[in-house]
Structure 1
Amino acid sequence: MSDNQRESLRQKALAEIALLDTPPEREFDVLAKLAQRMLGTSMSSITLIAPERQWFKARCGPLAPETVRAQTFCPVVVETDAPLTVADARLDPRFAASPFVTGSPNIRYYAGVPVRIQQPDGNRVAIGTLCVLDERPREPTPTDLEVLEQLACVAEALIQARTVALRAAEAAEEHRLVVERLKRERRQFKQAERMAEMGSYRYDIEQGTTAWSDGVFAIHERPVSGGVPNGEIMNHFPEPDRSTFVAAVMRTLDTGEPFEMDADLVTAKGNARRVRCSCEIELANGKPVALIGLIQDITERYELEQRLRHQARTDDLTQLANRAEFHCVLDARLREAPAADNDVAVLLIDLDGFKDVNDVLGHAAGDAVLRCVADRLRVACDGGCFPARLGGDEFAVVVSADLDRVGLDRKVRRLLHDLEIVIDGQGHIARVTGTIGIAWSSTASQDRDVLLRQADAALYAAKRTRKGTAQTYQVVADHRKAS
C-alpha cells in the first residue's frame, strides 16, 4: 500500500469516528493529565492528525488548540505507526528547525505512541497519538513508552466506546425519525387541517364515497354541514383539467404510482382558483382500499408566477411583447406554416427621426412616442398579427397567416400612415415616421434567422430609397435583394 493510500485510509477512519473539532470531554482531559503526572513532564496531549494540521482533543501545558502538521512530532508517530522518543529535539535533524523547538513552547523532550482504532475488516489504523513533552531534555526510559502505551489503550477504549455510543445514537435517531414519519402519515388528516389553505381527502374505493377535511370544504367554498357532494366533485374542475385529473387517478389505480398536479377549480360560489392536488393509494393487507391526498389553494402564488412570466415576456415601457417573446411566437408560426401550407411574413419597423425627439424634446417625449407607436401597432395588428418591441426604436410584427400579399400591402400602407407622428413641445416640433422591411418565410426556407436578416436587408434598402416607406425582400436569380 502506498503512502497516499495509507494517508487516505487514516483520514477516512478519522472522519468516521467524528471526533475531530469536538468540544472538550472530561474523560480525555483526565487521561492527558494522568500522562503528564505519571511521566513528570510539563506538557501532554491526545492528538488527532488531520490532512494539514494536528488538533488536540485534550492537552495540558502551553499548547495551542491546534498547529500545522509540518515539522511536528506526532505525525511521525502516526505515519510510521510506531512509538517515538526524542531526548533533545535540538539535536535531532528532523525537528531541530521546527518553530515549536526554536520558539514557543520550546520543545526539547518528546515521547509519543500511536492511538489506533479498529476497522470493520479487523485492521487497526493509527489516527493520532498520546504523547508527553517537556522544555528540558531528558533521557527516555523504557517505562516512559510502557506507561504511554497502557494509557493509549485506555484512550482507544474511550474512542471506541464513544464511537459505539455515537452510532447507537444515530441508529436511535433514525428509528425515531421512522416512527415520527409513520405517526405523521397517520395524522395526515389532522395535520392538513392545521395547514393554511390546505385540506385532505379520502376516497373509499369499495364504497365509492369521499371524505373531506374542513380545509377542502373551505377551498370549495362549501359548508361542512352540507357534506361532501360526492356526485358533483369533478364538476368543480373545468376542462381540460377535469379530464387530466380523472386520467391521473385512473393511472394511479392501475399502477399504484402517486401523482401531483396543478389545476383550475371553480368554487361553489363561482370563484376561480388554482389548486395543487396530490394523490396516492392507501393499502390494507397489501390491497388498495382508498385514495388519499391533499389539495392546496395556490391561487396567489400562481398569479404571482403568471405576473412574473408576463414581465419576462413583455417590454416594460410599451407593454408589447419583447424580443425573446417575439422570437418564440415567430418560431411557433414557422413550425406550423408547412403543415398549413402557409407563408409567414415579418415586418421590421424602424422609427425615423426618433433620435431628434430625444435630443430636442427629452427622453420623456421619446418614451411617449414609443408608447404611441405601441398603441397604434396594437390597433392595426388585429386578426392574428403579433406586434413586439425589439429594443430602442425597433419594432416588429409577425403577420397573420390568413393575410395574402394584397392584404399585407393594405396593412403596410395603413401602418405607414399610422406611424407618422408629430410631437410639439417646448417650442419645438419633431416628426417621426416608420420605415418597414418585409420578408416572407418562403424565401428564407422557414429559417427564423434568415427571415429576420432578409427583413432587415429590406428595411435598410427602404431607408436608402426614402425613409417612411416600405420594401419587400425578394430573391432574383439566386441573388438576394430588397426591392
Structure 2
Amino acid sequence: MPDTQREALRQKALAEIALLDTPPEAEFDTLAQLAQQVLGTSMSSVTLIDPERQWFKARCGPLAPWTERGPALCTVVFETEAPLMVADASLDPRFAASPFVAGEPHIRFYAGVPVRVRLVNGDRVTIGTLCVLDDKPREPKASDLDILNKLACLAEALVDARAVALRAAEAAEQRRLAVERLERERRQFKQAERMADMGSYRYDIAQNTTVWSDGVFAIHELPVSGGVPNGELLNFFPEPDRTRFLDAVLRTLDTGEPFEMDTDYVTAKGNGRRVRVSCEIELSKGSPNALIGLVQDITDRHRLEERLRHQARTDDLTQLPNRAEFNRVLDKRLHDARAQGQELAVLLIDLDGFKGVNDALGHAAGDDVLRRVADRLLRLGQDGCFPARLGGDEFAVIVPVELGRSGLVSMVETLLRDLRFDGGEPGYTAKVAGTVGIAWSASADGDREILLRQADAALYAAKRSRKGTSQTYGDDGAGRHAG
C-alpha cells in the first residue's frame, strides 16, 4: 500500500478511537511508569501521532504535553511501523540535528515500538508508540525491545477495549436513534391512519392468523384489547361481496398478483360501511409468507359519489331519471332484449294543457303539475317500467319485455286515465292530459335512435288525431287508445 494511503488509514484509525486530547487515564500512566522503571530510563511515553504533532497520552520525565511531529524520533517508528533503538542519538546522523537531541530534553538513548489498534476487519494499524528515552547514552540490549513489545501489547489491549467500547456505544446510540425513528414513524402512521380512516393488516399464511393496526380495529368498531377475531373475518363482508373478496384472495395466492377492490362492509356494531381493500403477497426466500394490505373506510366518499351520480342522472324538479340516464338504461335494456330474442316498448308522453297552466298561473303551478305527473309515472316502476323526464313537459317510459304487447294495452289505458287531471288553484283550473306515442324495439331493429324517432312519430300522429290518446308506431288507427 502506498505511504499516502497507509498514512490515511493510520489517521482514520486514530480518529475513530477518539483518544487524542483526552484527559490522563491511570491505565496508560501505569504503562509509561512500568516502562520507565523496568528499563531504568529517565523518560517514557505512550505517544499518539496525528498529521502535525506527537501527543503524549501518558508521559514520565521532562517531556512537554506534545511536540511537533517532524523532528520526533517516534515519527520514525510510526511511519515505518517497526521497532527502533538508538544508543546515542547525538551520534546518529538521522537525529543529531533534532531540536530534541541538540536541545531539551537532550535525548541520547531511545527505544520505541509501535502501538497498534485492531480494525473492524481484523487488520491492525499503527496509531502511535510506546517508548523510553534517556539523556545519557547506553548500550542497547535485545531484552529492551522485548520488554517494550510486551508492554505495548498491554497498551494495544487498552486501545482495543476503548475502540470496542466506542463502537458499542455508537451502535447503542444508533439503535436508540432507530428506535426513536421507528416510534416517531409509528405515531405518524397512526395519525395518518386516523386522518385517512385507514388501517393495515398482515395475514400469516402458515399460522392462519391476522394482525391488525389500530386503524383496522376502528373501522370494525372493535376494541384493540379484544384482539383480532380471526375465525370471523369473512363475516364482516355481506354477500355477494364476501364471495367476491374470497375469490380475489385465492387468485392472489395462486397468481401472486395484487388486487384492490371496493366492497360493502358491516361492522361489529351492525353499521353498514363501504371500504376499499388492497392485498398483495409478502415473500420470504422467494415463497409466499403472508398477505399484507390496507383497509380504508370510504363510506363518506362513496356516499358523496353516489349523490353526485344521482344528481348527474336525475331531473332535479321531478326526481325522475333525466334524458342521459334514460338513454343509458334504454341502451342496456335493448342489448339484453336482443340477447334474449325478445322485444320491449318505449312510451313517449307529451302533456296537453300544460302551457295553459304555466301561462295563467305561473311556473310554480306548472312545476306542481310536473311533479304530479312524476308521481303517477313512478307507480309504473313497481311493474319494472323505467320512467324518465326528457325535458319540459316531455316524459318517457321503458316498458320491460316481460309485459308484452297484450299487457301493454291495459297499462296504457290506466296511464292515460292517471294523466288526466285538473291543474290550477281555486278560481282557476286547467285541464291537463297526456298523449302517448308507442314504439316496439323489433320494428327499430333494436336501435335506440330509430326507436325514439318511431315513438315520436306515433306521439304526433296521436296528437293530430285526438289529444289525450295513444298511438303505436306502424298501426293505422287500430292501435289507438283513448284512456
**TM-score normalised over the length of structure 1:** 0.58
- Identify the residue that residue 386 of structure 2 maps to in structure 1: 386
Q: Is the 8 A contact 1:458 1:481 kept in 2?
A: no
Question: How far apart are residue 380 of structure 1 and its match?
Answer: 3.7
**Matched AA of 1:275:** V
Q: How much is the aligned-residue C-alpha RMSD, in angstroms?
A: 2.4
1:288 Cα offset (Å): 2.6
Q: Note the alpha carbon deviations across 1:241-297, whole angstroms, 9 max, x for none.
A: 222222222222233332211111111111110011112222333333211111111
CA deviations 1:83-136 (Å, max 9, x no partner) are: xxxxxxxxxxxxxxxxxxxxxxxxxxxxxxxxxxxxxxxxxxxxxxxxxxxxxx
Structure 2 partner of 1:413: 413
Alignment partner, residue 203 of structure 1: 203
Q: Which amino acid aligns with 1:322?
A: N
Q: Name which one, 1 or 2, has greater alpha-carbon Rg.
A: 2
Check conservation: 1:361, 1:426, Cα contact below 8 A.
no
SS of residue paired to 1:474: coil
**1 CA distance for matches of 2:332 and 2:361?**
40
- Look up the SS of the partner of 1:201 in the other structure: strand
User: In 2, are the aligned partners of 1:263 and 1:274 still within 8 Å (CA)?
Assistant: yes
Q: Is the 8 A contact 1:416 1:433 kept in 2?
A: yes
Q: How does 1:250-399 map to 2 (within 5 A)?
A: 250-399=250-399
**Equivalent-residue separation in structure 1 for 2:466 and 2:307 (angstroms):** 42
**SS of 1:321 mapped into structure 2:** coil
> Structure 1 residues 419, 402: CA separation in 2 closer, same or farther (over 3 Å shift)?
same
Where do residues 74-89 of structure 1 align in structure 2 (5 Å cutoff)?
none
d(CA) in 2 for partners of 1:342 and 1:367? 37
Q: What is the deviation of 1:407? A: 1.6
Q: For 1:428 and 1:472, how far apart are their aligned partners in 2?
A: 34
Q: Is the partner of 2:382 in helix, strand or coil?
A: coil
Q: What residue number does 2:447 align with?
A: 447
Distance 1:423 1:338 in 2: 41
Partner Cα distance (1:457, 1:481) in 2: 16
Question: Contact conserved, 1:457 with 1:481, CA < 8 A, in 2?
Answer: no
Which one-letter code corresponds to 1:191 in the other structure?
F
Alpha-carbon spacing, 1:381–1:259, altered in 2? closer, same or farther (3 Å): closer
Q: TM-score, normalised by structure 2?
A: 0.58
Which stretch shifts more, 417-426 or 319-328?
417-426
Structure 1: gaps (5+ residues): 1-179
- Look up the SS of the partner of 1:265 in the other structure: strand
Measured after TM superposition, the shift of residue 225 of structure 1 is 1.9
Structure 2 CA distance for aligned equivalents of residues 402 and 471 of structure 1: 21
Query: Is residue 2:228 matched to residue 1:243?
Result: no
How many pairs align?
298
Deviating more after overlay: 398-407 vs 325-334: 398-407
Report the AA paired with residue 218 of structure 1: A
Aligned-residue identity in percent: 66
Deviation per CA, 1:398-452, whole angstroms, max 9, x where unpaired?
1122212222111111111111121232632211110000111111111111111
CA distance in 1, matches of 2:423, 2:320: 22
**Separation in structure 1 between the aligned mates of residue 382 and residue 190 of structure 2, nearest angstrom:** 48
Q: SS of the counterpart of 2:231?
A: coil
Matches of 2:269 and 2:193 in 1, distance apart?
23
Find out whether 1:463 has 2:472 as its counterpart: no
Deviation string, structure 1 residues 291-325 (Cα, Å, up to 9, x no partner): 11111111000011011111111110000111111
Task: Name 1:191's counterpart in structure 2.
Answer: 189
* Alpha-carbon distance in 1 for matches of 2:343, 2:215: 53
> In structure 1, what is the Cα distance between the partners aligned to 2:297 and 2:338?
42
Q: How does 1:27-106 map to 2 (within 5 A)?
A: none
